[in-house]
Amino acid sequence: MLCQNYIEAERFRKRNLCAECGDEPQLYPNREGGYDVRCQNRNHKGFTKLKSYTQIWREGQAVPLTIAQNLIKKERRENANKGS
């Protein structure tokens, strides 16, 4: 994945994993002045997007307590707005 600036590359790196081994991608400067985001193993291709806390919560898996509380509050607000 080629990114033009560091912030874009870092954001992509944090939200994805290597599709083949599951490791976090690394940032590598390229000759054009941008960044390559890739697995440490150069032969690996593709990325898998990480799930959000909301997706994890809806699947019934554990999330940090404060995040779970905020998700519950949000669901209650949305349900209250639907009933009005």
What mean pLDDT is predicted for residues 20-46? Answer: 88
Within this chain, do residues 72 and 59 fall inside the same structural domain, yes or no? yes
33 and 71, same domain (yes or no): no
Whether residue 44 sits in one domain with residue 7? yes
Q: Do 9 and 38 sit in the same domain of this protein?
A: yes
Q: Is residue 54 packed enough to be buried (19+ CB in 10 Å), middle (13-18) or exposed (0-12)?
A: middle
The amino acid that residue 61 corresponds to is Q
User: What is the per-residue pLDDT for 31?
Assistant: 87
Please indicate, yes or no, whether residues 20 and 33 belong to a single structural domain of this protein. Answer: yes
pLDDT at residue 84 tops 70: no
Q: How confident is the model at residue 83, as a pLDDT? A: 67
Residues spanned by the domain of 34: 2-49
In a shared domain, residues 44 and 57 = no
